[in-house]
Structure 1
Amino acid sequence: MQNDTHATNLSISDSLLYNVTIVASRIISSTLENTTSTQASLEPWDRVRLFRPFQLDALGIVTLLGATQVDTTVGALSHRWLIEWLPLMGAYVFATNQFTLPINHGITMYNVTEGVIVTQFAGWFARWLLIQNISPAGTNIVFTPQSQQPTGRLRGGNPLYNFGLVLCLYSLPVVFTLWVRDYWGLVNTVALLLSVLVRVFLLHANRSGLDAQVRLCNSRLSEGYRELEYMSTDDQVPARLRLLRTCRCLLVFQDGRRAYLQVPALHWRACMTQTPPINQPAMYALMRAIGWLAFGMHVLSIGSSCFIIQVWTVVILLGATIATNCGFGRSRFRRKETIGTALQATFDQLTLASTDQVDLYAAMQLDAQEERKMAEWGLFPPSVDIKWYSAYRKQKAFYTLPRRKQEQALATQSQNYEQHRRNMKERKRTANADGEIEIPLMAGREDETTIDGMERGESSRLPSATSGSFRALYQ
C-alpha cells in the first residue's frame, strides 16, 4: 500500500515538472519567434537606433567632470585656433559665470615701482598666469596696448575655418538623428550646440569688456602725454600723471617659478587687479539662462540617445576638453599672444637657470629705491652676501649696455668659450699620447670678457649666446 502511494506521488511530481517544462519552452520559443519577427520587420534606421552592443550607464556624470580645468583654461580669455567652437565638459561653469570670478591662485606680485604687494587679481589675469609656460630660469613678460586688431591665430584663427568646423561637426549628427528618428539624440546635439554658442558669446563679451578698458586707458595715456608736453621742466608732476609710468613687477608662483612683468600703471590698475565690466549685462544674463537650459537638456537627453550618438558625444567632449587643457590651438610657445584684441603680451624666456635669480633681477633694471624695497621684502639676500651683489651688479651693467654692445659681448664670450674647449681637447690628446695624467674636459668656466668699466679677470656671469633675456627691454 505504501509503495503504491509513493509511486503515485512520483508520477504526480513528474507530471507537474513535465508540464512546467513544456510551458517554459513554449514561452521561450514564442519570445524568440516574436523577437525574430520584430527584427525582421524593423526598418534599417530602426536597427541602427536600437543597436546597443553594451550599456553605457551614468552618462550624466560626464556633464560634471573637468569643470575645474575648463574654468582655468577658458577663463584666461586666450584665443584658441580651431577649438573655440568645440563643446567642452563642465559647461555649467559658463552658465554660473564661475569662469570670471577670482580664484585661489597662489601667486604673489611685488610691484616694485609703486611699492605694493598684490595677491588678488582679476579672474582672467590669474587664470592667464596659471596657464603660461614660465621658465624655471625666469620669464620676462611685457604687456603692450594695441591700437590695431590682431590677425590670424593671435585672434583665434580665420572665422571661415571655425565656421566650417562647426558646420561639419554638428550637421552630420543632426542629419543622422533625423534619419534614424532618434529624437533624444537630436535634443542632445542641439543642447551641445547651444552650450557652445553661449560660451562663445560670454567669452566675446568678457574680451570686449577688457578691450574697452584697455582703450579707455590708452585715451587717458594720450591725454596725459599731451599735458606733459605743455609743462615746463620746473613744474612738479601731478600725482595723476605718475600713472603714465610703466610698472615693474616680480611674480612669484607657488612652485617657486618667477617672472618679470612690465605693464603700464594705468592698465595694471584697471585691467589686472579689477574685473572689467560687461558692456551688455541684460543680454549677458539672457545668454546665461540659455546656458542653463542647454545644460539641462544635455543631462536629460544623453542617457536616452542611441548608442552611436552617445559615443560621439563622449568622444567629442573628452577630446575637446583634453585639447583645450593641453593648450592646443593657443600660441603657448610663441613669443607673442593677444588677449582680446587690444592687449598684447610678449614673452622672453631666460635660459640661465640659477637658484639665486641674478639674471632675472638684473634684467629688471631696478633703481636704488626699488632695490631697497626688494631687500625689505626678503627677495634680495642680506647685504653681507658680497659675492651675490657683485654678480648682480655685473649682470646689471651688462643689461645697461646698448643692444649692439650686448651682442658683441655675447659673441666674444661665445668665441672665447669655443677657443677654450679646443685648447682643452688639445691638451687632453697630448696628455694621453705622452702617458701623463688625463686632464678632464671642463664643461664651462667663468668668462673674462671686458665690458666697458669691468677689469679683465673679474667673474662676469654673462647670459649664453642663445639667451634672449635682454631683448624684451630694448624692443
Structure 2
Amino acid sequence: MQYPWASVRYWQPFRIDALGLITLLGAEDINVWVGRLSQSKFTEYMPFLAGFIIAGDRFRIPNQSFHLYNITKGVYTHELAAWFTRWVQCQKFETTRSIVNWEVISTPRQRIHETALAALLAAVLLGFPLALTILSGDFYGLANALALVVMVMGRAYMIHLNRRAIDRSILRLAPSAAAKSSKTIVVTPNSKVVTMFIPSELIVPVFARNPQVTPAKGYECAQWISWAAFAVHVVALGMACLATQIYTVVLIIGSSILLCHGWGCDDVVDLRRRRDSDGNVVRRAYTCLIGSRLKATVFEWPADFEFRQLSPKSWALRGSSNNPALEDERSARRMDLYAWLDLSNEEEHSLVKWDLIPHHRNGDGSWDTEFKAKQKLIRELQPSILQIMDDAINHRNNNNQRREKLASDCEAIIEIKDSGSVKQCETQTHQRPSSGVSAEAV
C-alpha cells in the first residue's frame, strides 16, 4: 500500500547545505561593535556575520552591567543607553587612569570623503559576486549576493537613524560650548573605573536613555526587509556554487574581523606606549565622534600625578622631571583616582553612600588619613582638566613645568599619634615658595 504523500519523500528540486549556519556566528561581537555607533571609513558598508542582530534591533538592548555615578549631582544609575555601554566596552581603558571628556561641537562634521571611500570599497567587494554569479549562471549565488546588498543597505539605514537621533537630542537641548560639565565615573563589568566629564544637559537624554529614532515606521520596515534578506542569505548560501560560497564566507568573516578590530575607526588607535623626553611612559590621546556633533576625547591622568611613598607615614607627588614613572609603577588604586578628582565634602559623602569609599570600622581611619594626605597634594596643584587634555592631545610636556615644579616642592607628612584607643591623624603640607599655578577647572 502506498502512502498518499509518498511523492513528497522524493521531492528534491534543490538542496540546502549547512554552510548557511556560519552566518549565525559572531553574534555577541557584532552586537557590541556595530551598536557603539562609531563610523569606520573602511568597513561602514561591508557585510558582516550575524545579520539577525541588526534585523532584530538587538544592538539597542541596554546592558545593565555598567554603573554611572554623577558625582557633581549626587545621582547614580545603571540604566544607560545601549550605544554608550557598547562604546565603553570597545575602548581599551586603564583600570583607573582613563579620562573621557564629552563635548558638543558647534559645526557638525560631514564625513563626505570617508563615506565615499567606504561606499566605493563596498561597491567593489559586493559588485564582484554579482558579476560572478550572473556570468556563471549561478542564480542561487545571485540571490545570496543580492541578499548581502539588501542587508548592508538596511543596516546602514538603521545605524544612520540612530546617529541622527543623537544629533536631534543634542540640537533640541542646544547645550552651549561653555555649558558646565558634570564630574562622573563609570564602573565597567570588569571593575574598571573611567572618569568622564559630560555636559549636564545630555546625561539623561543621550547617555542614560536610548534616543528615539524617527521615522519609527521606516525603521520597522527596514527591520522586516533585513529579516527577509537574512533568510534568503542563509538558504541561498548553502545552495550556491563552491566559488560563490568561498568568496562570500571570506568576505563576511574578513569584514567582521576588521570591524571587531576597529579598522578605520576614530575610537580605535595605536595604543602602544612611548616615552617622553623625561622618561615617562605616555599614551597618545585620541578623539572620536558619535553622530556629527558629539565628540569624545580620551586621555589619561598624567604621570606626574602619581604618588610615591617616602616612608610609611610620608607621601609626595612623583613629578616627571626627576622621578619618571615606569609602566608597572603606575597606580591602579581607586583611592588615588578619588584624590585626583579633588572631591568636595558633598561629593565625598555621595561616594560613601554609594559604598565606593570604605566606611570607618573599629576606629580604623588609616584609609581616610592616607586619602586626605594625597588629596591635599593634588589641591596644591589646582589641576585643570582642560589643560591636562590639551597636553595629552598635543604630546606636550614642557607646558607642565610649573605644575611639575610645584609637585616636586609639595610633600605630605602623615603623623599618627596614639591617644588612648583612638588614633588622631594630622596632615601637614610643607611647600617651598613657587610660582602660581592655573586654577582653571571644568
TM normalised by structure 2 equals 0.72
Partner of 1:216: 172
Q: Secondary structure in 1 aligned to 2:409?
A: coil
Q: Secondary structure in 2 aligned to 1:336?
A: strand
Counting only pairs closer than 5 Å after superposition, residues 354-433 of structure 1 correspond to structure 2 as 354-382=331-359, 384-385=365-366, 386-400=369-383, 407-409=400-402, 411-412=404-405
Establish whether residue 176 from structure 1 lines up as the match of residue 125 from structure 2: no
Partner of 2:63: 103
Q: Secondary structure in 2 aligned to 1:203?
A: helix
Counterpart of 1:67 (choices 3, 22, 27) is 27
Change (3 A) 1:379 1:179: same
Establish whether residue 338 from structure 1 lines up as the match of residue 320 from structure 2: no
Change (3 A) 1:156 1:254: farther
Q: Secondary structure in 2 aligned to 1:86?
A: coil
Contact 1:358/1:392 (CA < 8 Å) preserved in 2?
no
Counting only pairs closer than 5 Å after superposition, residues 220-239 of structure 1 correspond to structure 2 as 221=175
Change (3 A) 1:156 1:315: farther
Partner of 1:145: 104
Establish whether residue 264 from structure 1 lines up as the match of residue 199 from structure 2: yes
Counterpart of 1:58 (choices 7, 18, 26) is 18
Shift of 1:448: 4.3
- Structure 2 CA distance for aligned equivalents of residues 323 and 156 of structure 1: 21
Establish whether residue 135 from structure 1 lines up as the match of residue 94 from structure 2: yes
- Structure 2 CA distance for aligned equivalents of residues 63 and 275 of structure 1: 28
Shift of 1:254: 2.2
Shift of 1:348: 1.3
Counterpart of 2:190 (choices 255, 259, 273) is 255
Partner of 1:322: 257
Query: What 5-or-longer segments of structure 2 have no aligned partner?
Result: 1-14, 270-284, 307-329, 389-397, 412-427
- Structure 2 CA distance for aligned equivalents of residues 192 and 381 of structure 1: 54
Contact 1:82/1:156 (CA < 8 Å) preserved in 2?
no
Cα RMSD (Å): 3.1
Contact 1:215/1:342 (CA < 8 Å) preserved in 2?
no
Shift of 1:162: 1.7
- Structure 2 CA distance for aligned equivalents of residues 310 and 73 of structure 1: 25
Q: Say which structure is richer in strand.
A: 2
Partner of 2:318: none
Q: Secondary structure in 2 aligned to 1:158?
A: helix
Shift of 1:167: 2.1
- Structure 1 CA distance for aligned equivalents of residues 370 and 343 of structure 2: 19
Q: State the one-letter code of the partner of 2:339.
A: A
Structure 1 residues 94-103 or 336-345, which shifts more?
Answer: 94-103
Counting matched residue pairs gives: 350
Which deviations, in whole Å up to 9, do the C-alpha atoms of 1:235-280 show, x marking residues without a partner? Answer: xxxxxxxxx6422111112222111111122100111111111121
Partner of 2:71: 112
Q: Secondary structure in 2 aligned to 1:346?
A: strand
Partner of 1:14: none
- Structure 1 CA distance for aligned equivalents of residues 24 and 136 of structure 2: 28
Which deviations, in whole Å up to 9, do the C-alpha atoms of 1:133-164 show, x marking residues without a partner? Answer: 2112421111101221225xxx5852221222
Q: Secondary structure in 1 aligned to 2:239?
A: coil
Partner of 1:162: 118
Shift of 1:412: 4.0
Establish whether residue 191 from structure 1 lines up as the match of residue 174 from structure 2: no
Q: State the one-letter code of the partner of 1:161.
A: L
Contact 2:96/2:333 (CA < 8 Å) preserved in 1?
no
Structure 1 residues 199-208 or 280-289, which shifts more?
Answer: 280-289
- Structure 2 CA distance for aligned equivalents of residues 129 and 261 of structure 1: 11
- Structure 2 CA distance for aligned equivalents of residues 344 and 135 of structure 1: 20
- Structure 2 CA distance for aligned equivalents of residues 392 and 66 of structure 1: 45
Partner of 2:275: none
Shift of 1:376: 2.8
Structure 1 residues 307-316 or 162-171, which shifts more?
Answer: 162-171
Establish whether residue 297 from structure 1 lines up as the match of residue 272 from structure 2: no
Q: Secondary structure in 1 aligned to 2:68?
A: strand
Q: Secondary structure in 2 aligned to 1:303?
A: helix
Q: Percent identity?
A: 24
Shift of 1:300: 1.3
Q: Say which structure is richer in helix.
A: 1
Partner of 2:49: 89
Contact 1:198/1:291 (CA < 8 Å) preserved in 2?
yes
Contact 2:340/2:375 (CA < 8 Å) preserved in 1?
no
Establish whether residue 202 from structure 1 lines up as the match of residue 154 from structure 2: no
- Structure 1 CA distance for aligned equivalents of residues 198 and 69 of structure 2: 13
Change (3 A) 1:118 1:79: same
- Structure 1 CA distance for aligned equivalents of residues 262 and 341 of structure 2: 29
Q: Secondary structure in 2 aligned to 1:71?
A: helix
Shift of 1:179: 1.2
Contact 1:336/1:345 (CA < 8 Å) preserved in 2?
yes
- Structure 1 CA distance for aligned equivalents of residues 246 and 148 of structure 2: 14
Q: State the one-letter code of the partner of 1:277.
A: Q
- Structure 1 CA distance for aligned equivalents of residues 341 and 85 of structure 2: 22
Shift of 1:67: 1.1
Partner of 2:313: none
Contact 1:79/1:156 (CA < 8 Å) preserved in 2?
no
Structure 1 residues 204-213 or 169-178, which shifts more?
Answer: 169-178
